[in-house]
Amino acid sequence: MAEKVAAHITGTVVRIEKAKGDTVAPGEVVVILESMKMEMPVEALVGGTVLEIRCAPAQAVNEGDILVILG
């Protein structure tokens, strides 16, 4: 079952920490967002393999936007 990792705040993607095919553990950081000049890590709630990355560096995202899909 695919697990969606969503932005918990509105901000800008600073860095994508994982690539398609990488294994992710629960609590591991997958994306770094910047909001109000602060870097905010976005962590996976469950473990899995990165199936899809739906964001890019410097992209503006809104709270709730899907950033990564894990399988």
All domains in the chain, ordered by first residue: 3-70 (2.40.50.100)
Among candidates 4, 9, 1, which has minimal Cα distance to 53?
Answer: 4
H or E element at residue 69: strand 66-70
The predicted pLDDT at position 1 comes to: 79
Sign for the pseudo-dihedral over CA of 37, 27, 5, 70: positive
Counting Cβ atoms within 10 Å, is residue 33 exposed (0-12), middle (13-18) or buried (19+)?
buried
The predicted pLDDT at position 37 comes to: 95
Residue 69 CA to residue 49 CA, distance in Å, equals 8
pLDDT by residue for the chain (71 residues), tens only, comes to 799 999 999 999 999 999 999 999 999 999 999 999 999 999 999 999 999 999 999 999 999 999 999 99
